[in-house]
C-alpha cells in the first residue's frame, strides 16, 4: 500500500486496505464490526470492500471504531462503481457460488416468474444472512437471500 500522508486524497482501495489492516490489529470479526455500527455483517463487509455506500452515521462509526483517518468517512459515503476484475472467479468459495447460479440460475428465474410474474429480485432492496448449521455428517453453510420483487413494466 502506498504511504498515506495526512492530507492526501484517499481512494476506495486505500480505505479498504486500511479497514482490513485495522480489523486484523483489533482482532474484531466482521460480525463484531457490524454490531458496533448497527448493520448486518453481510452489508458491512460489502460496504467495507467498496461495493456499497455507507450512510454518514455508519461511516463515522466505522472510522471511530477502527481509528481510520477522518477523510475515510467521505470516501465510504461515495456511491461506488461496482467492477469485477474477472469474468469467472477463481477463488474456490466464490467460484462455487458462481457455479450455483450457473446451474440453478434458470431454475430460480423460472420459479420467481411462476410465483410472481415477469420480473426480478432486487439486489438493492435486499438482505442476506450467512449461518452455520451443525449437522452430524458435517456442518452446513446456510445462505438466505431476500430481495424485493420488481416486476417489469409493460408498455
Kindly tell me if the per-residue pLDDT of 88 is higher than 90.
no
* pTM for the predicted model, two decimal places: 0.76
- Map out the domains of the chain as residue ranges: 12-77, 92-151
Domains 12-77 and 92-151 share a fold: no
Q: What is the mean pLDDT of residues 114-122?
A: 93
Kindly provide the b/e burial profile for residues 128-154, where b requires at least 16 CB atoms within 10 angstroms of the residue's own CB. Answer: eeeeeeeeeeeeeeeeeeeeeeeeeee
Residue 74, all three cell numbers: 467521505
Residue 60 phi/psi, 5-degree rounding, is: -65, -40
The reply to whether CATH 1.10.260.40 applies to domain 12-77 is yes
99 is catalytic: yes
CATH of domain 92-151: 3.30.1160.10
HSE of 50, CA atoms in CB hemisphere, 13 A: 18
Residues 39/58, Cβ–Cβ less than 8 Å? yes
The reply to whether 23 belongs to the active site is: no
Kindly report, residue by residue over 66-78, the tens digit of the pLDDT: 999 999 999 999 9
d(CA 128, CA 98) in angstroms, rounded, equals 16
Res 7: pLDDT: 44
Query: Active site residue: 21, 31, 78, 122, which one?
Result: 122
The residue from 21, 31, 96, 140 that is catalytic is 96
Residue range 38-52, pLDDT digits in tens? 999 999 999 999 989
Q: What is the band of 155 on the pLDDT scale with cuts at 50, 70, 90?
A: low
pLDDT in tens, 89-98: 889 999 999 9
Which of 13, 31, 78, 99 is catalytic? The answer is 99
Residues β-bridged to residue 142: 131
Q: Specify the pLDDT at position 2.
A: 44
- pLDDT above 70 as % of the chain: 94
Amino acid at each position: 500500500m502506498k504511504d498515506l500522508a495526512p492530507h492526501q486524497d484517499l481512494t476506495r482501495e486505500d480505505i479498504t486496505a486500511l479497514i482490513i489492516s485495522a480489523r486484523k490489529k483489533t482482532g474484531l470479526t466482521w460480525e463484531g464490526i457490524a454490531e458496533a455500527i448497527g448493520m448486518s455483517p453481510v452489508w458491512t463487509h460489502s460496504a467495507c470492500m467498496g461495493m456499497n455506500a455507507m450512510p454518514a452515521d455508519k461511516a463515522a462509526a466505522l472510522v471511530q471504531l477502527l481509528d481510520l483517518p477522518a477523510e475515510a468517512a467521505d470516501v465510504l459515503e461515495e456511491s461506488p462503481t461496482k467492477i469485477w476484475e474477472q469474468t469467472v472467479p477463481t477463488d474456490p468459495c466464490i467460484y462455487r457460488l458462481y457455479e450455483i447460479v450457473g446451474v440453478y440460475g434458470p431454475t430460480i428465474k423460472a420459479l420467481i416468474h411462476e410465483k410472481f410474474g415477469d420480473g426480478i429480485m432486487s439486489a438493492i432492496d435486499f438482505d442476506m444472512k450467512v449461518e452455520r448449521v451443525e449437522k452430524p455428517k458435517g456442518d452446513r453453510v446456510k445462505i438466505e437471500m431476500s430481495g424485493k420483487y420488481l416486476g417489469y413494466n409493460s408498455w
